[in-house]
Amino acid sequence: MPQPAQEKQRTNVTLTAGTLEKARKFGLNVSAISDAALARAVAEAESRAWADRNAAAIAERRRWIETHGAPLADVQVLRID
């Protein structure tokens, strides 16, 4: 499924000369690959930031489950014991 066109912005990126030469040899779209890699890195950074912001709540929830058990465990269909 094609992605909708998004606004592009020019920027300068410093790349290893040998790697860039090989990419060009294989006809790789360096801009698209760079954009995709940067998008993945941003998503991972956002995920880590969310986990850091919510670490206390996550720890509290885990403590509650250890003390009280998982909510609705008595009606759970698939049990992994």
Question: What is the Cα–Cα distance from 16 to 75, expressed in whole angstroms?
Answer: 57
| Dihedral sign of CA atoms 18, 24, 26, 28 in order | positive
Report the sign of the C-alpha dihedral through residues 17, 18, 24, 27, in that order: negative
Please write the tens of the pLDDT for every residue from 8-64. 999 999 999 999 999 999 999 999 999 999 999 999 999 999 999 999 999 999 999
pTM of the entire predicted model? 0.69
Q: What are the sequence ranges of the domains in the chain?
A: 17-69
DSSP string, 40-64: HHHHHHHHHHHHHHTHHHHHHHHHH
Query: Terminal CA-to-CA distance of the chain, rounded, Å?
Result: 40
Q: How confident is the model at residue 1 (pLDDT cuts 50, 70, 90)?
A: low
Task: Confirm if 30 and 23 have CB atoms less than 8 A apart.
Answer: yes
